[in-house]
Amino acid sequence: MNIQDVYKDLSITTFFSAFHRLGSSYMSKQMKSFNLGHGHQQFLMALYIEDGITQDELTKRIATDKVTTARAISKLKEEGYVLVEVDSKDKRCHRVMLSKKAYDIREDFTQAITDWQKQLLNNLTEEEEQVLLRLCHKIVEGKSE
């Protein structure tokens, strides 16, 4: 039984899970230098994209649980990467702001993600990579209405 046969019936779910695990493992090591775990990566990324959003917005964008967000932000605060501030208009909302320290590591951090992506997708052409990203976007767009 060759390798194509082995994977031929695997579902999308299995692929995504495998890619997630491989990425977690890789990023765990990379994030150690920032004193963070692989799970924090997405939160930093989302905040680089839009600084100052609330925990609830983070939860929605990352498609995770609010508990996970709360704990991730708590850790990021503890490590000095973010500041948390209660919204003046709606006191239920906590706004998360990136610190200087967070911007200081931005380049190294995004490089680590880029490196991982390159490694994971090394078998794809530039064009295929773009197609894959576009399909991912399209999947997400279908969910966010």
Partner DNA sequence: ACAATATAGTTTCAAATGCAACTATTATTT
Partner DNA sequence: AAATAATAGTTGCATTTGAAACTATATTGT
Confirm if 44 and 81 have CB atoms less than 8 A apart: yes
Q: What is the per-residue binding string for DNA in 75-104, x denoting contact by CB under 7 A?
A: --------------xxxxxxx---------
- The pair of structure tokens assigned to 51 is 């600084």
Of 35 and 117, nearer to a second copy (C-beta) is 117
Strand (E) or helix (H) holding 131: helix 126-143
Task: Select the residue interacting with a second copy from 86, 87, 90, 136 (CB under 8 A).
Answer: 136
Task: Select the residue interacting with a second copy from 52, 63, 69, 111 (CB under 8 A).
Answer: 63
d(CA 87, CA 109): 28
d(CA 39, CA 30): 12
Binding of residue 131 to a second copy (CB under 8 A): yes
d(CA 46, CA 44): 6
Q: Which stretch binds DNA (CB under 7 A): 1-9, 17-25, 104-112, 130-138?
A: 17-25
d(CA 4, CA 102): 43
Binding site residues, a second copy, CB under 8 A: 1, 3-24, 27, 41-42, 45-46, 48-50, 61-64, 113-114, 116-117, 120-124, 128, 131-133, 135-144
